[in-house]
Amino acid sequence: MNRYLMFLLIISSFANAQDETRRYRQAYEYLNSCEIVKDIDKKACRRGDFSTLNVYDSIQPLSLLILNPDIIEDDLANENDDVTMFITNHDMNNNFNPYPVDDLFMKSSSDFYVVFSKPADNYLLAEVVIKKKEMKREELTYDKLIEFNRSIGFLFIFDNEGKLLKVRKSINHYN
């Protein structure tokens, strides 16, 4: 009985890992275009600065505050939920120590980065940001990356099979 239970747990965790990988790949494919980064750097495409997005080296506990409250109210919160309480509960329940990203994506010399959260329920949060020119790659932390910078927060919504249904975005200005 214990071996059977252990086998089911292993299969289940493997299936969850595959589902998470699929979600990250779909989100990355959606984000990896010059059109997306135009919202934070209008001239990047014309200058030829954009080649591909780098994936930040760790999964971060991104706050729902990277999204406009209207997006949260329309797409995540239930009708009777107070949006402020929904955000607070989400952020408390999805707080974790950042952990390294497996080598799912190639590294590039681009200054454009996407930071992913851990998938929660049927959604995934991501944030696209440009590394400031004076920042060295070895000094790169999430906090330094967004400090006094602009970013685009994304909400990816998936169906029960893990297929991308909807994408919402918000422009952020960090001071």
pLDDT, tens digit (0-9, with 9 covering 90-100), for 2-46:
544 333 333 333 344 567 889 999 999 999 888 888 888 888 777
- Number of structural domains in the chain: 1
Domain span holding position 91? 2-173
Rounded to the nearest angstrom, the gap between the alpha carbon of residue 36 and the centroid of all alpha carbons in its chain is 14
Averaged pLDDT of the chain: 83
Prediction pTM value? 0.84
Q: Looking at residue 62, what is its pLDDT? A: 95
* CA dist 76 → 2, 82, 121, 155 (Å): 38, 11, 10, 10
Nearest Cα neighbor of 55 from 122, 145, 155, 133 is: 145
